[in-house]
Amino acid sequence: MAHQTKPLSVVFFASSSGREPVREWLRELEKDDRREIGADILAVQQGWPLGLPLCRSLGHGLWEVRSTLPSRRIARVIFTFDDETIVLLNGFIKKTQKTPAAEIEIALKRLKEMTS
């Protein structure tokens, strides 16, 4: 994907029942943490393509936004692209060095649901 001249759109993945799990997860976080994650997603939206330290590929068409939160925790938002739109598939607080396979599986399941 070439460097963007205009910001990409961002949407939340919505399940077949209409739930938006990433939006729900964000609402559970403290305001300052939400603001930091939002700023990081905005940086990706405006500056794509980006790499480390903010963004990295997970393979299978998945990417992660890497956020260090004011609450001294680490958050990840896994996303994919649908044309020129960033689709936020999964968000979580990171507790281990490596991105947990279960979190990637959730994102892959949502990606499959999105494309079927």
> Which structure tokens are listed for 114?
């999105």
What does the alpha-carbon distance between residue 90 and residue 110 come to, in Å, rounded to a whole number?
8
Q: How many other CB atoms sit within 10 Å of the CB of residue 85? A: 13
Contact 66, 76 (CB under 8 A): yes
> Which structure tokens are listed for 115?
């494309």
> Which structure tokens are listed for 82?
């649908």
Q: What is the pLDDT of residue 2?
A: 53
Q: What is the pLDDT of residue 66?
A: 96
Q: What is the pLDDT of residue 6?
A: 81
Dihedral angle at the C-alpha atoms of 60, 67, 44, 79, nearest 10 degrees? 30
Q: What is the pLDDT along the chain (116 residues), one digit of tens a residue?
A: 555 568 899 999 999 999 999 999 999 999 999 999 999 999 999 999 999 999 999 999 999 999 999 999 999 999 999 999 999 999 999 999 899 999 999 999 999 999 88
Domains of the chain: 9-115 (3.30.2310.20)
Q: What is the pLDDT of residue 49?
A: 92
Q: Which amino acid belongs to residue 41?
A: I
